[in-house]
Amino acid sequence: MLAPVAAQALTSDEVNRAGPPATTKSKETRANASIVKAQVLLARQGVSPGEIDGLDGDNYRKAIDQFRRRENLGTGEIIDAATWQALKGDVSSDIVSDYVVTKDDIKTRFVRRIPHDYARQARMKRLGYRNAQEMFAERFHMSEGLLRVLNPRTHDWKREETLHVVSVGRTAPSDEARTVEADKTNGMVRALDVTGKVIAMYPATIGSEDTPSPEGEYQVVRVVKNPTYHYDPVKNFQQGKNKRKLVLPSGPNNPVGTVWIELSKPTFGIHGTPEPSKISKASSHGCVRLTNWDAEELAQLVRPGTTVRFVD
């Protein structure tokens, strides 16, 4: 069910016709049409802002700076006239599109509640979506808040109901990633082709003070889609009072999300997350965490043997 929202609605026309965002940092907590448009355009250019929420946050600012550097537009976290032109802002009016709920959507089995405790999660059959709102938000790379703002009158969902969603329209690069850089200082993951050209960039959570990420270079060992999660308090960390090994079922709310890219460093990998809003904002247990959709795209670009380099 898509819950009603008290915040002011945002229409498709407002977003599609929006001009460049303000150059000063916004303190608004309501989704801004211009920022929604800028976030979608950045994602289309292969510079992910993470969760598209229409808010002036760190991941959005990092994406602007990375895009400007790549396009030789100088450094900075603002969208000036040249940057807006490079993003094709004035000629892009297809940012929000309509999605019609399907029969398969209605058949989706949701999980009402996912406990925090890993031992209880291990007893579940699947760590699936909790509701339609969560499912549609992730499918279209949006925050649940933005989905509600674009659909303020949608209190229920049924077949052939129309939802307003952002249209990233991003096609994964055709080139293979020869190297992946995990930039611990900036909280970014970059995929580079054989010439050293950056073909994709993603905001990332890379380790923490208690469980830092490794140093140096490693290789991709394998890619696992819809992985189970193997919890080992001896090799990894202790969660709550759990002191024995556990296997948690697959699903988008699995601790490693929908993709696990295993590295040659034992127990380390690049993976998705059940909490896309926390990417680069909350610590991980040494691994590299991306949104599920960014992890899925990266998984298409790498293969066993691809170099993963951790840089400061």
The catalytic site residues sit at 271, 287
Residues 6+ apart with CB under 8 A from 157: 1, 2, 101, 105, 106, 132, 163
Measuring CA to CA, which residue among 267, 265, 264, 255 is closest to residue 292? 255
Note whether 90 and 84 are within 8 A (CB). Answer: yes
What are all long-range contacts of 191-197, with beta carbons under 8 Å and residues at least 24 apart?
191/298, 191/301, 191/302
The CA distances from residue 191 to 80, 101, 129, 169, 200, in Å, are 26, 34, 29, 19, 5
**Do the beta carbons of residue 78 and residue 70 sit within 8 Å?**
no
Residues in the chain: 312
- How many CB atoms neighbour CB 273 within 10 A? 25
Degrees to nearest 5, angle at CA 51 with 59 and 172: 95
Burial of residue 24, with CB atoms counted within 10 A of its CB: 0-12 exposed, 13-18 middle, 19 or more buried: exposed
Contacts of 252 (CB under 8 A, 6+ apart): 127, 128, 129, 138, 258, 272, 274, 292
